[in-house]
Structure 1
């Protein structure tokens, strides 16, 4: 077929089976004439099922959407970082007037502790994390203890927040317009 019609690519079919020495090679030889490719997978063993060998990332090294609760009052701040969580927390605690959380700490003479940081969503993708941060802020927009500025968001009809379909967004947030905010 390839010699007659070189511009037409034939779709390959794949077969996934556990690897057994000798048997794998024999099966591969027999199924190649039918345009199948054999793919190996690990055997299911008790060790594979019970042991997770993935290295766990420390909370300080995570990145994502976070919530920092004030240690002195119920106020909280929702933020996002693609960098190290501990470094971002230190920036909040040292650069007081540059964020809403910093202003709260400075004006009320309150403090924050890393133990009061809660990771809401983990990830590294800037655009996805930005949308998740906006989602979390909008979910808490009626909470009077939220320190984030809602005026930073464009909540007009047809904005990016309305276009993206998040299945867990309540209907009152999903259809946000300027009329709903007043």
Structure 2
């Protein structure tokens, strides 16, 4: 990864249109960058080909210890586009190398940027030099791993060259790296039982598919690994040894599979947080012919790890549900925005100054002659998806006793959700102790 450090504006726009509209410095920087690209003949401006696919590869910034860094080359690890780019580049490198090798490859298998093939031993060094000559800058460099004891690991399997009187045959076996932690979701973890069973079946498929000869041995190893993760022996024995491979059955072609695929296209997925006492009951109320329920964990792994990156300041947050209190009364305004919060507050301030009744907040401020406390804004929820954010906004408005939002802001909230919110309010009210109602007996 190539990085350049420097001082750039503290508020980084999330798109080109936002950059050219929010700050003249950003527009000047964009123009200078484009002029540099043209001068160095990095890009050539052409008309878009009819079969071309436009890929968004926005420049990546991150901040650490008050300094902003921009990635100058390649794509960042973890980005959704990185795998696509890596696979495309690997294809181009392979095409380049095949045309320059002095031998034909008997086979060549690739997964993203991992490749396995066979070449004569005396051509190993030559092939490495050819691969590394693809990029004259030397940024893209390849490494080669040779077979040892007639075997070579590739992804989660080991490819074995078995020599017989009739020649060599390639076999495969399940492979685990020496650094493998063998840790999976623990049986006592707060996940649905269906997810734990699926973990067993998925791992069974991962073990059995590449195993030519040592299936039972590998399954016993898997039994021990999952046993160390708290899975009961009875469940493991039943799932591993006494059941067929359900995943392979689902992948078999035929009219049944095609019919199931057509049915799934008509169905929609619903994602709900997994709450052991509530989610299974809600699942029974959801019509299975229309929806497929997927659960997610309330407590995510990222909440357990230290965050080394600088925290995003409150005003730079986007995709949020927020709350603005009133200085003169208990009223609050609940809103949502996809843009930076500072931009949304700027719009609210403008409406407040011009007495423009464009929102429930502005109506309350103008008609009651009250002053919103913009500096006391609070972020309630974060959600990139618009539908999810609108739902969270409606829930927050319904939960707030002193909301100034209009009735139409929650008109799309379902009856079931309204009843759950009302039930939650009643439960919280019962748990409160009214002020002055406790008598101390000495």
TM bin, normalised by shorter chain, reads 0.5 to 0.7
Is 2:383 aligned against 1:123? Answer: yes
The one of 139, 146, 149 equivalent to 2:403 is: 146
What is the CA deviation profile of residues 54-109 of structure 1, one whole-angstrom value per residue up to 9, with x for unaligned ones? 23111001120011001222111101011111111121121231011001111222
Change (3 A) 1:54 1:108: same
Is 2:199 aligned against 1:60? Answer: no
Where does structure 1 lack aligned partners over 5 or more consecutive residues?
1-24, 42-48, 174-182
Change (3 A) 1:154 1:73: closer
Q: Normalising to structure 1: TM-score of the pair?
A: 0.59
* Contact 1:80–1:129 (CA under 8 A) maintained in structure 2: yes
Give the number of the structure whose alpha-carbon radius of gyration is greater.
2
Is 2:342 aligned against 1:86? Answer: yes
* Contact 1:71–1:116 (CA under 8 A) maintained in structure 2: no
SS at match of 1:57: coil
SS at match of 2:153: helix
- Cα distance in structure 2, aligned partners of 1:72 and 1:129: 28
1:114 CA drift (Å):
2.7
| Number of corresponding residues | 134
| More contact order relative to length (CA 8 Å, sep ≥ 6) | 1
What is the CA deviation profile of residues 1-24 of structure 1, one whole-angstrom value per residue up to 9, with x for unaligned ones? xxxxxxxxxxxxxxxxxxxxxxxx
Where does structure 2 lack aligned partners over 5 or more consecutive residues?
1-146, 159-171, 181-303, 426-442
1:123 CA drift (Å):
2.6
SS at match of 1:97: coil
RMSD: 3.7
Give the 5 Å matches for 1:132-143: 132-140=392-400, 143=401
- Cα distance in structure 1, aligned partners of 2:177 and 2:399: 48
Runs of 4+ in 1 over 6 A off after TM superposition: none
* Contact 1:70–1:116 (CA under 8 A) maintained in structure 2: no
Give the 5 Å matches for 1:1-182: 29=153, 31-32=157-158, 33-36=172-175, 52-63=307-318, 64-95=320-351, 96-140=356-400, 143=401, 145-154=402-411, 161-162=414-415, 169-171=421-423
